[in-house]
Chains A and B, each alone.
Chain A
Amino acid sequence: MDRAYIRAIDRCVIAAASLLSLGVCWNVCIMNPDEGAKVMLLDDRSANAPGEELISQWLEAIRRPNPGDYGGLRDFRELPDGARVEQNSRFWSQKFFTDAANPYLQKPAAPCSTHPATTDTFDVLRHEYDIFGQHLIVDETVNVILVTVEQPLESFLNQPEQQKHHEINRIAGLLLRMRGTMVAPNLQDAPYRWTFRFPTTIGNGMRFSTNAQEDPARMWSWASRMDGGIYNDRLYFLCFKQRESTSGKILVPDGRHWFDGKCWAAFSPA
């Protein structure tokens, strides 16, 4: 399917979902340890717009390179800031993936390749491997991890919606830590649980979220939001590498300068 067409659908569906969601309650899936699962009612999705634009731009930039644009990576030291890239990638992989699906825990080791940024693409680290009978492509930038289940979904998309929900949740649960611990704004550990809020109909080009209200650039934590969607007949999940905002600084590092480390220079003390 034509990429521009997919992008257009993506945006239209997001807009449509926004309209549909008016008057609909959205779950904030952060559990209060004292009260169990706590549901907070949100009625204003206006904050979505900047976040949705940013996410769409990120996804487009990640998907822009062709497979042939990737080159194999044998050792992170091949990258200018390789030690930091490796630590960063391992840290977030441990955070988001179940142990079984963690690209760094695969045996044999999952092949790794890189795509160096251009003016309209990012530095992307790619792991490709099979797990649970699925072929995964894990594309990682300094801001996100995009997990694509590389298996066409033609039959899946014809299933009843409930069946789709069940299947998406099942696969997400196999691959990702759908519940765990985060650092709450009070600086204490607190449990989180991701639960997708699905649109009425799931189809190609659609994206859904655990908390579409959150702006990925401003949200408190990586646990505040996780997205999923269907793109090119493939199921994908999108995790945001947003450290808990305990510094008071808003950090959105430049995805074009992950491998050379220059993306961090902006956040060093003067």
Chain B
Amino acid sequence: MSGTTRSSRRLPGPSRTGGSIHVSRRVAITAIKPVRVTFKSDHHMMTDNNADWTNSGSVFPKPEWTTRKPSNPISHTKNQKVEIEVDFDVAPANASETVGDVAGIATFCRLFFSASKQKFKGGLVTVSVRSTTPLLDMVEKLSGDIQWRVTTVADGAFDVGSSSGHTIYVTWDTPISVSGHEAGITQKRMELAVKLVGDAIVSAGYAESRLVPEDANQPVSSNISPHWIVNDLMRQVKGYELVPNPNVPAQFDHPQYFNDRGGAWTMADYLSYSAECQAIVRFYRAVIKQVGCPGLAQIMAVYARPDVDNGNTVLEDDMETNSASGLNAVSPKRVGDRSFVAALLDKDPGSDPGKIFDGNRRGRIPGIGLNTFEACLKFTFPEPQSGATPEAGATQYYAGGTGGSVMDNKERVIKVFWALVWYSFVLGQPGEYLVKVEEIVARYR
């Protein structure tokens, strides 16, 4: 029989059999220590790569905490209760069973764990506890210890010590691994994403006066539209960049960031050097999805075609689902033995066709910029049901590298260009890239 000791002492009085009566004497619990802590309500998706931006490493193993080892971090959805399984070592090993209440106090936030009427006896005892309140409605990083206390009916209360070094990345929702070069949930990415989105929530909260007035340190993110977060993030990069910067190591492929080192995640270390619009969009999309931010984020190419309503209907392609985007998909037009190519111009080509410009924008001929599309982040929140039309105002276009330019429809995006034209190539002097505007198909300004 576990938890009792057979006494050899003969009690006075007759026994049923006429012999001695042996009784069991209770063995008191003398010590209780937590030996393992396992989070049960976390996402269990994050890998342990905290060294670089690659999608590598192993998913953090469970249990998160064991005696004398630092706790593994977890990610957990905000505004939800936290469930934990705690293994206690109860001494002595033959201690008698009793009932007790378990309480845990997190030192890093207002989080209390409790479980009542749990059975305790010598040996290993596993208790499931749940926080009495949910995590704050906030994207943030929490770090610290949980102090545990067990109060038993028979043997009194025990301050059993702490499980230490816990880290909780509190996310908006379950992390989403985006497609492409930025796929994957890692600790390094989570650390950054929680910081950026958390700051954006605070920033947007102040900007929109949605912070809880009585406690400015606790903005309630449910009051914050994901649009405001996206807007706040996208304005962090003031201008786009088309030219590789030698201060960014070549392996990261600045400014396009198509690399196998984590794709656009790597631009986190070189934000001041900016990037192409599409890379900026890929980066911030990966950031918001790392913390499960809701909303549909698409990398869109906005443009118009000469052969569609004479360039008067604005078109858009989801770049990741099209084999060719924008005017890259428009074939040259043959006029006699000449070849005309379509382009969107970023300068006024003048009132009449026939002018010659330098695509290099420098030198003896007036310069002009030739484009095949404008890349931007199309963000829709709330996401409509499949096939349904988004609510009015649910979709916004965020141009990458424009310091926070927001447009509510693609018809406004196209106005970054002056005109859609057919041009022809004109052989100039070496180093020039001369084009002749042959037809002005449509004007947008």
Contacts and interface: CB of A to CB of B under 8 A. Distances in A.
Interface string B76-110: 00000000000000000000000000000000000
Interface string A203-225: 00000000000010110100000
A19 interface: no
A187 interface: yes
A252 B240 contact: no
Interface stretch (B39-47, B194-202, B361-369): B361-369
A117 interface: yes
Contacts of A61: 430-431
Contacts of B276: 246-247
Interface string A251-270: 11111110000111111110
23 contacts: A47-B331, A50-B341, A50-B424, A54-B425, A86-B246, A90-B250, A91-B250, A120-B429, A183-B258, A185-B325, A187-B258, A188-B320, A220-B324, A245-B372, A246-B278, A246-B279, A247-B375, A254-B363, A264-B243, A266-B361, A267-B242, A267-B243, A268-B242
Interface string A47-63: 10110011001101100
Interface residues of B, number: 60
Contacts of B278: 187, 246-247
Interface string B330-345: 0110100011010100
B321 interface: yes
A171 interface: no
B93 to A, nearest CB: 58
Nearest to B250: A91
Contacts of A158: none
Interface in B300-356: 301, 303, 319-326, 328, 331-332, 334, 338-339, 341, 343
A128 interface: no
Given A187-B278, A254-B431, A256-B431, A87 B246 contact: yes
Q: Is the interface of B mostly helix, strand, loop or mixed?
A: loop
Of B245, B341, B360, B375, the most chain A CB neighbours within 10 A belong to B360
Contact of B360 (A60, A187, A254, A269): A254
B328 A185 contact: yes
A88 interface: yes
A73 B78 CA distance: 59
B242 A186 contact: no
Contacts of A265: 362
A164 interface: no
A155 interface: no
B180 interface: yes
B401 interface: yes
B172 interface: no
Given A186-B323, A243-B256, A47 B246 contact: no
A53 B429 contact: no
A84 B431 contact: no
Contact of A249 (B282, B299, B370): B370
B299 A187 contact: yes
A186 B429 CA distance: 35
Contacts of B244: 84, 87-88, 91
A185 B240 CA distance: 20
Nearest to B361: A266
Interface in B163-208: 179-181
Contact of B359 (A47, A244, A250): A250
Interface of A: 44, 46-47, 49-50, 53-54, 57-58, 60-61, 83-84, 86-88, 90-91, 94, 117, 119-122, 183-189, 215, 217-218, 220, 243-257, 262-269
Of B240, B245, B282, B372, the most chain A CB neighbours within 10 A belong to B372
Nearest to B370: A250
Contacts of A186: 319-323
Contacts of B430: 57-58, 60-61, 119-122, 255-256
B158 interface: no
A21 to B, nearest CB: 16
B373 interface: yes
A257 B362 CA distance: 11
A90 B195 CA distance: 35
Contacts of A87: 244, 246, 250
B334 A46 contact: yes
A251 B429 contact: no
A243 B432 CA distance: 19
Contacts of A247: 240, 242, 256, 276-278, 375
B374 interface: yes
Contact of A268 (B243, B328, B375): B243
A91 B303 CA distance: 31
A252 B433 CA distance: 7
A64 B262 CA distance: 43
Of A46, A53, A57, A117, the most chain B CB neighbours within 10 A belong to A46
Nearest to A261: B243
